[in-house]
Structure 1
Amino acid sequence: MGIFDFMKGAGAAIFGSGEPKDDADTYVSLRKQVENHGIKTEGVEFKVHDAGVVTITGAVPDQDTREKIVLIVGNAKGVAQVDDQLAIGVPMEGGAVPTLAESSDGSGGGDAGEWTSKTYTVVSGDTLSGIAKKMYGNAGKYMVIFEANKPMLSDPDKIYPGQVLRIPPLEG
């Protein structure tokens, strides 16, 4: 849980006017954008505030899904911040979501509710291998970053300045 900063002027133009609004069309656009990446949004709610801030609440099955939803929403043009209030676990009776004490991050690391991945904002001239060299000390680990960002990335060469990527911890 936490607030994540994004480049408001970068990303997919999903809002038509360029600015997310507190209206049904924006919520449909956000939901559709997440679902277009193969992630179910049942039990997930979006709330848009002033200045391009989006709060995401509800429950998701695991940490991987949580991180991807935050990045998909944040990488939409017009979004400056995402307030991640997602819980890990199955929604409880009556639509309630687990609290931090009741949730498990499902990733095998970190405290409940804490991100296990780091984030990296792409700058002009970056490549996934260059980012892997900076983050892991090994350019050959670029596929770890690519796999962690699927389905948001369809090709290792298709990244853009301002895009925020997940950088998972290396296993073993």
Structure 2
Amino acid sequence: MGLFSFIKNTGAKVFGIGKTTEEEAAEARAKAKREADAAELRLEEAAARNLEETITDLQLQVEDLNIFVDDDMARISGKAYDQATREKVILVVGNTAGIATVDDNMTVEHVEPEAQFHTVVSGDTLGKIAKHYYGNAMKYPEIFEANKPMLTDPDKIYPGQVLRIPSLD
């Protein structure tokens, strides 16, 4: 007869031994997806631990703080000392690159009125924000103090940042 040539990696394997190229490719894709999912989970866990450390470093008092990051959503639980601490924790987490949504499941030890939140837009200053909420631009230190320790300078705010605007009562 003679010598016949075939394409080496096509067709089914004899007696079901081995896999077709398509089956091998599908398995490789599935394995790569599992590995990518595991790597993403490790990154999300590391991000959550880093956020917890940041909150501790900022000396925000939260008992049993737990943060879970899933894609661009963070879920927070624990018992905050007061409402201001709770809101600051939400802002620390929410003002983090990659986080779009914060699911707040914290409780508060000392209940007090909730603050409003303000998203900074281009051209905003703390004075302009104070004028809007309080009717007096000179009340900007109230907003600055309410956002410490996340803010370290009243002139350093940026568009997209969310700030606490406490009630003056």
User: TM-score, length-normalised on structure 1?
Assistant: 0.70
Alignment partner, residue 47 of structure 1? 68
Q: Which has the higher helix share?
A: 2
**Letter matched to residue 69 of structure 2:** V
Match status 1:63 vs 2:83 = yes
**Letter matched to residue 35 of structure 1:** T
In our comparison, the structure showing a higher alpha carbon Rg is: 2
**Cα distance 1:33–1:22, how it changes in 2: closer, same or farther (>3 A)?**
farther
Aligned residues: 128
Alignment partner, residue 133 of structure 1? 131
In the TM superposition, 1:89-168 aligns within 5 A as 89=109, 105=111, 107=112, 109=113, 116-168=114-166
Q: Counterpart of 1:57 in 2: which secondary structure?
A: strand
Q: Counterpart of 1:88 in 2: which secondary structure?
A: strand
1:101-131 Cα deviation digits (max 9, x unpaired):
xxx52x2x3xxxxxx1000000111100001
Asked if structure 2 preserves the Cα contact closer than 8 Å seen for 1:43 and 1:60, the reply is no
Structure 2 unpaired stretches of 5+: 1-39
Structure 1 unpaired stretches of 5+: 1-20, 90-103, 110-115
Aligned mates of 1:28, 1:62 — CA distance in 2: 22
- Higher relative contact order (CA closer than 8 Å, sequence separation 6+): 1
Alignment partner, residue 31 of structure 1? 52
Give the superposed CA RMSD: 1.5
Aligned mates of 2:74, 2:48 — CA distance in 1: 10
Match status 1:85 vs 2:83 = no
